[in-house]
Amino acid sequence: MRAFAPFLIAAVVFTGAAQGQEPASQTLVQRGQSLVAANCSSCHAIGGRESNATRTAPAFRTIAQIYPVAHLEEALAEGLSVGAGHEHEALQAGEVRAIVAYLETIQTEQTPQQRRAPPAVG
């Protein structure tokens, strides 16, 4: 039994460490969801099913069809100008990570009829 003790301890520690990481990433996603709900929902559909408040604003669930989500990090960190005089403020690094983590969890496929030309970023 003593020969197996180190393996048992290692298994318990590893399992506990893996479980401890998941809530942190879930917290990051939840923070991202809160940030987009507070700052983006007046124009964008921010969840899995609702319609956009503004016709020209892409639904966040399909944004990966326009841009790779990770490519939005720099634009979010520097601030976005999206036309019609509407500007998005630059975000802090932690906010950017949270928003990107959230966006990655809600992506859905689009049919070819739903796709449109990508707007300019930056």
The predicted structure's pLDDT at residue 54 = 81
Sign of the C-alpha dihedral, residues 82, 44, 33, 69?
negative
Q: Which residue's structure tokens are 């956009």? A: 52
- Judged by DSSP in three states, 88 sits in strand
Q: Indicate whether 116 pLDDT > 60.
A: no
Would you state the structure tokens that stand for residue 25, as one six-digit string?
């990433």
Residue 114's pLDDT band (cuts 50, 70, 90)? very low
Cα 104 to Cα 64: distance, rounded to the nearest angstrom: 8
Q: How far is CA 106 from CA 10, 32, 74, 103, in A?
A: 35, 11, 20, 6
Tell me the per-residue pLDDT of 7-58, one tens digit each, with 9 for 90 and over: 333 333 333 444 444 555 889 999 999 999 998 888 899 998 888 778 888 8
Cα 52 to Cα 73: distance, rounded to the nearest angstrom: 22
The predicted structure's pLDDT at residue 7 = 37
Q: CATH for 2-114? A: 1.10.760.10
